[in-house]
Copies of this chain bind each other. A is one copy, B any other.
Amino acid sequence: MIEITDAAVLTRLRDFLATTDLPDDGRLPPERELAQSLEVGRGALRKALATLQSEGVVWRHVGKGTFTGERPIDTVADVNAMVQRTNPLEVMGARIAFEPEVARCAALYATAGQVAEMRNCMLKAQQAPTWRQYEQWDNKLHRTIGEASQNSLLLGLLDTLNAVRRAVTWGRLRDTPLRPPADHHSFEEHARIVAAIADRDGAGAADAMRRHLRSVESHMRDRL
């Protein structure tokens, strides 16, 4: 019988990786096929693959297969994890830290169309016949500001923050008055933010956003 050492299997496997054209996703054939192709027992192949995996050359997962390169990060459950650890006060703290800087970027890069959309959101929010619709337009306003930063990563983080916010402040505006009053504090605060953005005043936009969120926070505390 021909002697095949573990090292020899490893060499064959490395050779295979070096000489074979892998598909775009870097996936290599399943264990069973590869073992036959390399004329090696499956167990021996698995040992070699385990070595390569510990070296970080490949990564593998049941049902998926074996791939070259580094294992892609998956942070799907992140939002849920954040939701469980945090609380409404922390959410407001994060908003106060984060959103003013987003507004500052937005002031630098917002297009005329985006400013127009912000104004539209403000108008629709003021005319909203219900709190639900007011909030919808308020959300869209804040997200438009995020889009205006022209930074898809900042926008992504803002979306994550909002996802957590909605999950955390769950069921707070029950039995509130039917619609926002005409002198609702947010209206003027929104106007100041948008005006500063339109003026390309980064510091002013950040300041106005910070004041707005502080105001929201204080009203939130009052309600508790």
Chain A interface residues (CB < 8 Å from chain B): 55-56, 70, 72-82, 85-86, 90-91, 93-94, 97-98, 100-102, 104-105, 130, 132-133, 136, 149, 151-154, 156-157, 159-164, 166-167
Number of copies of this chain that the complex holds: 2
Q: Which residue of B lies closest to A56 (CB)?
A: B132
Contact assessment for A73 and B151 in the assembled complex, using a CB-CB cutoff below 8 Å = no
* Complex Cα gap A56–B70 (Å): 44
Contact assessment for B167 and A161 in the assembled complex, using a CB-CB cutoff below 8 Å = no
For A151, list chain B residues within 8 Å (CB): 86, 90, 93-94, 97
Contact assessment for A153 and B91 in the assembled complex, using a CB-CB cutoff below 8 Å = yes
For A55, list chain B residues within 8 Å (CB): 130, 132-133
Contact assessment for B167 and A82 in the assembled complex, using a CB-CB cutoff below 8 Å = no
| In the complex with contacts A72-B80, A79-B73, A93-B105, A157-B153 CB distance below 8 A | no
